[in-house]
Structure 1
Amino acid sequence: MKIVVTGATGHLGQQIVKQLAKRVSTTSLTLGVHTPAKATAFRRQGMRVLPLDYRDQTSIATVLKAADVAIYVPSKSHDSFSRVTEFEHVVGAAEVAGVKHVIVMGFIADQATNPFDLSAFYGYVPRRLAASNLSYTILRNALYADPLVPYLPELIERRNVIYPLGDASLSFISLEESAAAFAQVAVTPMLWTRNMYTLTQERSYTMPALARVLSDVSGRPIGYAPVTLNQFGDMYDQGHEGHMLASMYAGGAQGLLATVTDDFRQIMGQPAQSLPDFLAAELARES
C-alpha cells in the first residue's frame, strides 16, 4: 500500500507520519513537504520525501501519483480563500493522479452560521469532495488539547481562564490521538465506508469546568473571568492570528465548538483519553 501524506512536517502531519510508521513499512510512505530539508529524519527512516507546492497542481499530482491513500493536511494560511484555492488544486491533482482514497483533515467549526474565519473553508471541503469523483473520508478534529499545556503558566498567573465563551462549552482531542485515528483509517479500508468522522474526547467542558480541571492538574487556583472577543484578539495577535482566534471563540460562544461523538472509539476500539488524564500525563512528562 502506497500512502502519501501532505503537510508532513507540520504539527499534525509529523504525528500522522509517526503513527503510520507503527502500522506500515516506512518504505511505503511518501511525504509531500514544502521544505524537504525539514523531513531529513523521515528520509533516513526510508520514507520518500518530495517537494510539494500547494499552489501548483502539477507539483501535487507528481507527489500523489498512483497513491492508494493520500492524507491531506492543509497549510497554515489564515483565510478561507487561500485554503479553498489550495484545496481545489489538491482535488484536481488527486483526480489526475488516480488516488484510490483521500483522507482530509476537517474541523468542527464548519457550520454555515459559524463566524470563524476558516469556517467557509471547512464547510466547503465536504461539499467539494461530494462533487468530485474521489473516494474520501473527512476526519473533523475538535480543538487540540495540547496548547493548554504551555498556556497553563499564563492561566496560573492570571488565576483565571479568559476564553470569551460565556456559558458555552468546548470539546477537545489531542494531536497524538487525532493522528492515530488518521493512521488507523488510512490502513483500514473497511473504515472508508463512512465519509466523515468527528474526533473528540467523550465529554465537553464549560469554562468553569475547564478551570476546575486546570486547577486540579496544576494544584493552583484557577477560576473563570472572560475577556471580550476584541480584547482576546488584541491579546493574542502574534503572527496576526488574533482576529482568527477571536472569531473561532465567537463561534464557540454560540455552542458550535461543543460537539462530542464516540467516533474515536469506533475507529480505535477504545475511548479517547480524557482531558484531565491527558493534561496530567503531559505535565508529568515535563517535570
Structure 2
Amino acid sequence: MRYTITGATGHLGSAITEQLLTQTDGHQIRLAVHTVQKAAKFQDSGVEIVPIDFFDESSLIKAFSDTDVLIYVPSKSDQAFARVTELEHVINAAERARVHHLLSMGFIADQVNNPFALSPFYGYLPRRLAGSGLSYTIIRNALYADPLKPYLPELIERHNVIYPVGDQALTFITLADSAKAFAKVAVTPKLLKNHQIYTLTQSRNYTMPQLAALLSEASHAQIGYSPVTLAEFEAMYNQDGEGHMLASMYAGGALGLLNEVSDDYQTIMGHPATPLAEFMAEN
C-alpha cells in the first residue's frame, strides 16, 4: 500500500505521519509538502518527500501518482474561497492520478446555517466528494483541545473563560487522538469505507461554566465564566488578521453548532478518546 499525506509539516499532518509510521513501513509513505526542508525530520524514516503546489495540478498529479490512500489535510487558510479552490485542484488531480481512496479532514462546523468563516468549505467538502468519481472517507474533528494548555495562563490572569458562546456547549478532541484515528482508518480496510463520515469527539461536551470548573481544577486557580462580545473577541485576537475567523467560529458555537458528541472514536480505536480533564492534567 502507498499512502500520500498532504500538509505533513503542519500540526495534524505531522502527527498523522508519526502515527502512520507506527502502523506501516516508512517506504510506503509519501509526504506531499510545500517546503521539502520542513519535512527533513522524517527523512531517516524512509519516507518519500515530494514538493507540491495546491494551485499547480501538474505537481499534484505527480505527487498523487501510484497512491492507494491519499490523506488530505487542507492547507492553513482563513479564506473559504481559497480552500474550495484548493479542494477542486486536489480532486481533479486525484482523479487524473487514479488515486484509489481519499481520506479527508473535515470539521464539525459544516452546517448550512453555521456562520463560521470556513463553514462553506467544510460544507462543500462532502457534497463535492459525493459528486466526484473518487472513493472517499471523511473524518470530522471537533475543536482541538490542545490550544487550551498554552491559553491557560491568560485565563488564570483574567480569572475567567471568555468564549462568547453563552449557555451553549463545546466539544473537543486532542490532536494526538485525531492523528491516531486517521492512521488507524487509513490502514484498516473495514474502516476505510466509501462515503463513510466519522466524527471525532470526546465522550462529552462542556458548557462554559463546566469548562471553567475543569480548568480551575487543572490549574489550581479560580476561573469563572464572563463572556466578551463577539466584536470584543475579534478585536482581542486579531493577530495575523484571524480575529474574524475565530469570532465567527464561536458565533457558530453560540448557536449550539459546536456541541456534537459522537462515539466514532471508540468505534475506530476500541476505546474512548482522551477525556479533557485527563488531557489537561498531563504535564
Aligned pairs (5 A) from 1:87-98: 87-98=87-98
1:35 aligned partner: 35
1:244 aligned partner: 245
Question: Distance in 2 between the 1:277 and 1:142 partners?
Answer: 17
| 1:182-221 residue CA offsets vs partner (Å, 9 max, x unmatched) | 0000000111225200000010000000000000011000
Question: Distance in 1 between the 2:271 and 2:64 partners?
Answer: 32
Q: Percent identity?
A: 59
1:166 aligned partner: 166
Q: Counterpart of 2:240 in structure 1: which amino acid? A: G
Normalised to the residue count of structure 2, the TM-score between the two structures is: 0.99
Q: Which consecutive aligned stretches of 4+ in structure 1 deviate over 6 angstroms post-superposition? A: none
Question: Distance in 1 between the 2:58 and 2:119 partners?
Answer: 27
Deviation (angstroms), 1:66: 1.5
1:206 aligned partner: 207
Question: Distance in 1 between the 2:271 and 2:242 partners?
Answer: 35
Deviation (angstroms), 1:61: 1.0
Q: Counterpart of 1:60 in structure 2: which amino acid? A: L
2:80 aligned partner: 80
| 1:112-149 residue CA offsets vs partner (Å, 9 max, x unmatched) | 00000000000000000000011100000000000000
Question: Distance in 2 between the 1:73 and 1:126 partners?
Answer: 14
Deviation (angstroms), 1:26: 0.7
| 1:245-277 residue CA offsets vs partner (Å, 9 max, x unmatched) | 000000000000000000000000000010000
Q: How many positions carry a matched residue from both structures?
A: 282
Question: Distance in 2 between the 1:208 and 1:249 partners?
Answer: 16
Secondary structure at 1:191 match in 2: coil
Question: Distance in 2 between the 1:86 and 1:57 partners?
Answer: 10
Q: Counterpart of 2:115 in structure 1: which amino acid? A: P
1:47 aligned partner: 47
Deviation (angstroms), 1:162: 0.2
Question: Distance in 1 between the 2:192 and 2:27 partners?
Answer: 23
Normalised to the residue count of structure 1, the TM-score between the two structures is: 0.97
Question: Distance in 1 between the 2:192 and 2:280 partners?
Answer: 31
Gaps of 5+ in 1: none
Cα RMSD after superposing both structures? 0.6
Question: Distance in 2 between the 1:261 and 1:118 partners?
Answer: 22
Question: Distance in 2 between the 1:78 and 1:41 partners?
Answer: 27
Q: Counterpart of 1:261 in structure 2: which amino acid? A: S
2:13 aligned partner: 13
